[in-house]
Structure 1
Amino acid sequence: MKLPTFDMLKKACGASRKRGRPITGEEFDRMIEVTPKVVGNVAAESWRLLLRRLWTSGLRISEAI
């Protein structure tokens, strides 16, 4: 089996890497509200707890992992 190859884009001289922006409080509230629809009712509370801890501590997903 042969793996596909991809041409990587080169970074332009002096160009900075775009970063994501922090979510707003309203976006966070909406995310907490729809958690059961995404993960189901059984797992919703544990996911809400994780999301709240990430939110209050300022951790990124990669740091939580």
Structure 2
Amino acid sequence: MKNRLREFREGKGWSQGELARRLGVSRQTINAVETDKYDPSLPLALRMSKLFGVNVPELFIDEWEPENDD
């Protein structure tokens, strides 16, 4: 799943370590999310969206499309 975490983090002037501290996770977790190597849990995604004041779909882009059975 694609995300805009780095964009929002850099917009605040925060390092990965600072964002990790604010969210209560490791810097490695932030790096893994930003590089699309790890999809965060729902609670973590919700905390991230609250911290940046945006809705989850603004932060995480789901490109999945359902099949059309018509």
TM-score higher than 0.5 here?
A: no
The structure with the larger Rg is 1
TM-score with structure 2 length normalisation?
0.30
TM-score with structure 1 length normalisation?
0.31
Greater relative contact order, per chain length (Cα 8 Å cut-off, separation 6+): 2
